[in-house]
Amino acid sequence: MKYIFVTGGVVSSLGKGLAGASLGTLLEHRGLRVTMQKLDPYLNVDPGTMNPLQHGEVYVLADGAETDLDLGHYERFTKCVLTRENNLTSGQVYETVLSNERRGDYLGKTVQVIPHITDEIKRRIRSFENAGNADILITEIGGTTGDIEGLPFLEAIRQFILQVGHENAILIHVTLVPFIKAAGELKTKPTQQSVAKLREIGLQPEILVCRTEMPLEADVREKLSLYCNVSLDAVIEARDVENSIYEFPLMLQEEGLDEKVCRLLRLETPPADMEGWKRIVHSIVHPTHRTTIAVVGKYVELQDAYKSIYEALCHAGGANDCGVDLKIVDAEEIEIDGADKHLAGVSGILVPGGFGDRGTEGKIAAARYAREKGIPYFGICLGMQIASIEFARNACVLEGANSTEFDPKTPHPVIALLDEQVDVTEKGGSMRLGAWPALIKPGSKSHEAYGHTEIAERHRHRYEFNSAYRERMEAKGLLIAGTSPNGSLVEIIELKDHPWYVAVQFHPEFLSKPETPHPLFRDFIKAAMGR
């Protein structure tokens, strides 16, 4: 197995995850089998309990792991199927080492960061070799070079590269080359210092991926090469993409990144055939039509909080030859001004997942607006619960209907905890998580989209549609379009008399890729275009 490590320098948010994922795409298109891993230096065991406004969305894997959003990039850009092994945090490393210590595994020894923590990190990097289903592992290290908390990871990598040899493992450093307006120049010093920091601890990157607003001229490339001790053809320019992140692999290919990687790792393959990828990018970047979709949420300030949803909308646009203009609406603003002020004129309304009651009344007003005005509506997880509450209150006249998450004393708990969740007090990893099968009702909009009746979709929620209200709601025109295989849990609701109103208890956005857009997102956009 060959190993590629990706570190980041100078600042955070450089798109290391995207760079790694893009390299993964290129290597796959050269016929190699790739898997990807993220090492996060923070102490949380997983990001499941972190605020999306701080950390971005929590990406859920098929096996139920709650992971960093970069794993979403990995799954969207490559064919790899990720599991909880693919996202390692310091918290998990320490948890393992400490429970080994309690069991007596290190009896007599002093347990230390070096070698015990670093050995455990190396073991987790190595673990992919035995699975035997990939030729290359791309491992991204979260954080920025120079962070104290990242040091054990970097030390583990230094040892690892030494042990497997430079022809089997390389280091790529993603860095910033800022343009200083006043000087009219690109500056290489931050990168030089960041690489010096790596060399101090015995790591020498073989490749520099330079994020920059301006083209890297020959003299800048030479400087970077000479002072960072990296060969000239390994200084890769990564300019901000103009239209779509899916252009990124194409840009890196032009710069020769995958070629260089293969040469360093002694991999002989034909060049990557990116024609199919180019066609998809073209359909995303140059659509014939346009439509406006309102996303009504509460984590609206941060682009990353609904990352997978925005990506899935983009893929669905590509499939319909339609550009999707997003109108990000803060649900609390709807509470102040009413739905019409913010939603008039949009062609579709999407209410995404969420937790806690802030903004829920605004989302309920948005769902009502969509139902009454015949605007295509797509509810996801909380968005499905919101739609159920709205329908119960306004179509079934169940006054005060609510979820017990927002109002524990509601007279009509149309969304409530299942018995097995009532006594759960731990917050971490205790929700209904991961891929679960569901059955779809023939003839429904969902059936039309999927084209079959058996599906499996990823979940991340605690509350459920309360079956005690099923009949009353069905009598008023709600369609239970999908359930768990034994029929007990409601997975999808639709409205019978509406152009397209579909709300799902799961997270379809996690299964959408540019080449294979999710069928529900695809049909939602199609319905919006029909308006």
| Catalytic machinery residues | 381, 507, 509
Stretch that binds ligand GLN, among 134-142, 165-173, 277-285, 350-358 (CB under 6 A): 350-358
Nearer to ligand GLN, 227 or 355 (CB): 355
Interface with ligand GLN (CB under 6 A), residue from 327, 355, 484, 499: 355
With beta carbons less than 8 A apart as the criterion, state whether 232 and 225 touch: yes
How many degrees, rounded to 5, is the angle at CA 131 between CA 136 and CA 49? 85
By residue count, the chain amounts to 531
The residues with which 478 forms a beta bridge, in sequence order, are: 495
- Cα–Cα distances in angstroms (integers) from residue 201 to residues 136, 156, 247, in the given order: 25, 11, 34
Q: Is 429 in the site for ligand GLN (CB under 6 A)?
A: no
CA distance 200 to 143: 18
In this structure, the number of other CB atoms found within 10 A of the CB of residue 116 comes to 22
Stretch that binds ligand GLN, among 2-10, 338-346, 456-464, 484-492 (CB under 6 A): 456-464
Stretch that binds ligand GLN, among 107-115, 418-426, 455-463, 513-521 (CB under 6 A): 455-463
CA distance 306 to 289: 24
Nearer to ligand GLN, 141 or 431 (CB): 431
Interface with ligand GLN (CB under 6 A), residue from 353, 482, 517, 519: 353
Interface with ligand GLN (CB under 6 A), residue from 248, 306, 463, 469: 463
What is the closest distance, in whole angstroms, from the C-beta atom of residue 356 to ligand GLN in the complex? 7
Nearer to ligand GLN, 187 or 462 (CB): 462
CA distance 21 to 42: 21
Q: Is 187 in the site for ligand GLN (CB under 6 A)?
A: no
- 118-131 vs 90-103: helix crossing angle, rounded to 10: 100
CA-nearest of 164, 170, 172 to 264 is 170
**Count of chain residues binding ligand GLN (CB under 6 A):** 10
What is the closest distance, in whole angstroms, from the C-beta atom of residue 353 to ligand GLN in the complex? 3
Interface with ligand GLN (CB under 6 A), residue from 342, 460, 498, 526: 460
Strands 34-40 and 136-141: parallel
What is the closest distance, in whole angstroms, from the C-beta atom of residue 171 to ligand GLN in the complex? 37
Helices within 345-475 (DSSP H only): 360-373, 382-394, 419-422, 445-450, 470-475
Interface with ligand GLN (CB under 6 A), residue from 150, 249, 354, 379: 354
130: exposed, middle or buried (Cβ count in 10 Å: 0-12, 13-18, 19+): exposed
What is the closest distance, in whole angstroms, from the C-beta atom of residue 68 to ligand GLN in the complex? 17
Helices within 265-338 (DSSP H only): 275-285, 307-319, 331-337
Nearer to ligand GLN, 155 or 405 (CB): 405
Q: Is 526 in the site for ligand GLN (CB under 6 A)?
A: no
What is the closest distance, in whole angstroms, from the C-beta atom of residue 332 to ligand GLN in the complex? 17
Stretch that binds ligand GLN, among 66-74, 98-106, 209-217, 348-356 (CB under 6 A): 348-356
Nearer to ligand GLN, 142 or 353 (CB): 353
What is the closest distance, in whole angstroms, from the C-beta atom of residue 87 to ligand GLN in the complex? 18
Site pattern 364..403 for ligand GLN (x: CB under 6 A): -----------------xx---------------------
What is the closest distance, in whole angstroms, from the C-beta atom of residue 406 to ligand GLN in the complex? 9
140: exposed, middle or buried (Cβ count in 10 Å: 0-12, 13-18, 19+): buried
Interface with ligand GLN (CB under 6 A), residue from 2, 173, 307, 461: 461
CA distance 61 to 77: 15
Nearer to ligand GLN, 353 or 508 (CB): 353
What is the closest distance, in whole angstroms, from the C-beta atom of residue 325 to ligand GLN in the complex? 24
CA distance 3 to 72: 20
Nearer to ligand GLN, 98 or 424 (CB): 424
What is the closest distance, in whole angstroms, from the C-beta atom of residue 359 to ligand GLN in the complex? 12
Ordered DSSP codes for 440-464: E-TTSHHHHHHSSSEEEEEEEESEE
Q: Is 405 in the site for ligand GLN (CB under 6 A)?
A: yes
Nearer to ligand GLN, 62 or 151 (CB): 62
Radius of gyration of the chain (CA): 25
3-class secondary-structure state, position 530: coil
Residue for token digits 């310091």? 90
Which distant-in-sequence residues (6+ apart) come within 8 Å of 63 by Cβ? Answer: 83, 84, 434, 435
Q: Is 66 in the site for ligand GLN (CB under 6 A)?
A: no
Tokens (6 digits) for 140: 């991204």
CA distance 272 to 281: 16
Q: Is 490 in the site for ligand GLN (CB under 6 A)?
A: no
CA distance 69 to 368: 31
Under the rule (CB under 6 A), what is the footprint of ligand GLN?
Answer: 353-355, 381-382, 405, 460-463
